[in-house]
Structure 1
Amino acid sequence: MRDFQREALTLTQLLEFDPDSVNDPELLSVKFALYARLLTFLDTAIRHTESDKLLDLRIVARNAIECGMHMDAASRWPDYLRKLKDDDKASRRSLAVEIPAEILDAKNRRIRQGMLNDKTAKRLQPTDLGKGSDFARLVLMYRKISSDTAHVTASSLDRHMATDTEGVTRLTIDPIIDDEELYEAFTTIALTLLLCTWLLMDAVPESSRNGAMLELAERYQSLYRRDIRLFKDQDE
C-alpha cells in the first residue's frame, strides 16, 4: 500500500484545473475532496497494517470504500451534488429532533425549527449509491464489513470472545481476522484507489492531463495485479 500512497501523492501534485474550464467547478472540487479523504484513510490503513492492527484496517477499508461509492455516484449522477447536500440537511434534521427545544435559547430554537421545517431532504443510503453502478463489489463489501466488523452486531462482538478447548471464554482487544478478510480489505482498498484515480482524471479537463498522469494510472493497475498475485502465492 505504500506504493499506492506514493503514486497517489505524486498524482495529486500533477492534477490542477482552471475553474473557468469546467462545466461544474463545485462538483469537480467535491471530487478532489473525496480523493483527499480517500488518501487520508489510505494513510490510516497503512499505519494500522504496520502496527498489526488488522481489525482496525478492515474498519478503515469500509471508510475508503464509501469514498469510492461516492466518487462513482458523483461521476454518474447529474444531481449528485443536490443529493449530497440533501443528505446533510436530512442528517441535521434528525439531529434537531433529538435536541429538546426547552434547553435552547431563542436564537438556537429558531435554528432548530428551521432544520425541522425542511422536510423534503432525504438521506443518501449506500444502497442508493450502488444503483446502476458497474462496481457492485464495493457496495457488497461496504455492507459486509459494516455488519461483521464496523458496526456493533452479534458477529462483530463475537470476534472479541474466544472459547478454548476447556470451555473457558476470554476476551481479546485485538481480535484476529482471517486471511480471506485481510485479502478483502487490501484488494478492495486497491480497487477503490484505481476507480477513484481514473474517475478523477476523467473529470479533469483534457488540456490539464499529461502522459505522466496516464502512466501513474497504469502503474496503479500493475500494482493491483502484483499484490493480488503475491497474496495468492503466500496463501498457497
Structure 2
Amino acid sequence: MPIRKVWRDWFGEFLGSVDVLELDKIDLCDAEHAERKSAALALLARLLSETQSALVLVDAGRDLAFRSTCRSAIECSVHLFLAETEDGYIDLLRSDDEVSRRSRAKKFMANGRGKLAKEAEKHLQEFLRRSAGAKGRFQISDIQTPFPRQTHVYREISADAAHVTWTSLVRHLHEIRPGWIELKIEPSITESELEEAASILAFSLLSGMKSLLNLVPALEDKFDLETVFEAYKKIYLSGNP
C-alpha cells in the first residue's frame, strides 16, 4: 500500500525546490550567530537526507520502515525549531552530547578493566574528570512546540521505531484462528497510519524550512514557503481524517 501519489509528487517538488537554494554554497563565516546558523543548515541537510531515505523505502514497498524513518525526520524538525527559538541551543546540544559520551566512556572503562592500554585508560579517566559536571539530555517528546500533532505522532511512531517494545512486537504476530499465530517478517500498517506518516513528514519539512528561513533571512526570497504550504494543506485536507 504506497502513500498517495499526490504526497509522492509533493515530496519530489519540495526536494527540487530546495536544490535551487544551493545550501552547500552558503557562506556564514562573518554572519552573526554563525555557529547556530551552521547547525541549522546541518539539521536541514539531515532532515532532507532522512526524507530521501524514507522515500526510497516507501517506493520499495517497505511501508513500516518508511513510517519508522519519518521519526528521524520529525526529530530534525524539532531540533530546528529549538535552534530558531532557543539562544542557548548550541550549549544544549553540546551538553547532551557530553552526557552521552560520558556514559559510553564509563561503560567502556567498566567492560575493558585490565584490558585497555595504559595510555588509552589515562585519556578516558581524564575525559571523565573533565566532564564530571556534564548534565542535561534532550527529551524530544517533552519539548513544547506550537505543533502538538507533531509531538503526538513522534511519540506514536516511537512506540514502533525507537526500540523494541510490546507494541512493535505485536505487529509481527497475527492470530489467524483460535490457537494459531501467524508470524509476519514485514508486517503491514493501516492506511490511516501511512497517511499520518506521510502528512507529518511533509509537515516536518515545512516546519524545518520555516525555522531555517527565519535563521538565515537571505534565503527567504529564494523559497516560496507560502505556496508550498498551500499545496500541502490541500493534500492534507483531502486525506483521511
Answer whether TM exceeds 0.5 for this pair. yes
| 2:43 aligned residue (31, 34, 42) | 34
Q: Tell me the equivalent position of 2:153.
A: 141
| In structure 2, distance between residues paired with 1:166 and 1:139 | 38
Higher helix share: 1
Shift of 1:179: 1.8
Identity of aligned residues (%): 31
| 1:3 aligned residue (10, 35, 41) | 10
1:1-236, aligned counterparts within 5 Å? 1-14=8-21, 15=23, 17-19=26-28, 22-99=31-108, 100-117=112-129, 118-121=131-134, 122-128=136-142, 130-131=143-144, 133-206=145-218, 208-210=219-221, 212-213=222-223, 215=224, 217-232=225-240
Q: Which secondary structure does the structure 2 equivalent of 1:39 belong to?
A: helix
Check the 8 A contact 2:28/2:38 in 1, yes or no. Answer: no
Q: TM-score, normalised by structure 1?
A: 0.87
Distance 1:124 1:115, change over 3 A: farther
Shift of 1:81: 0.2
Q: Which secondary structure does the structure 2 equivalent of 1:19 belong to?
A: coil
Q: TM-score, normalised by structure 2?
A: 0.86
Distance 1:180 1:104, change over 3 A: same
| In structure 1, distance between residues paired with 2:151 and 2:188 | 24
Shift of 1:21: 5.2
Structure 1 outlier segments of 4+, above 3 Å: 15-18
Higher mean alpha-carbon deviation, 30-39 vs 105-114, is at 105-114
Check the 8 A contact 1:150/1:156 in 2, yes or no. Answer: no
Q: Which secondary structure does the structure 1 equivalent of 2:114 belong to?
A: helix
Shift of 1:20: 5.0
Shift of 1:12: 4.4
Higher mean alpha-carbon deviation, 14-23 vs 196-205, is at 14-23
What is the letter of the counterpart of residue 19 of structure 1?
A: L
| In structure 1, distance between residues paired with 2:115 and 2:9 | 49
Higher mean alpha-carbon deviation, 144-153 vs 157-166, is at 144-153
Structure 1 residues not aligned, in runs of 5+: none
Higher mean alpha-carbon deviation, 174-183 vs 155-164, is at 174-183
Q: Which secondary structure does the structure 2 equivalent of 1:170 belong to?
A: strand
Distance 1:120 1:101, change over 3 A: same
Structure 2 residues not aligned, in runs of 5+: 1-7
Distance 1:180 1:115, change over 3 A: farther
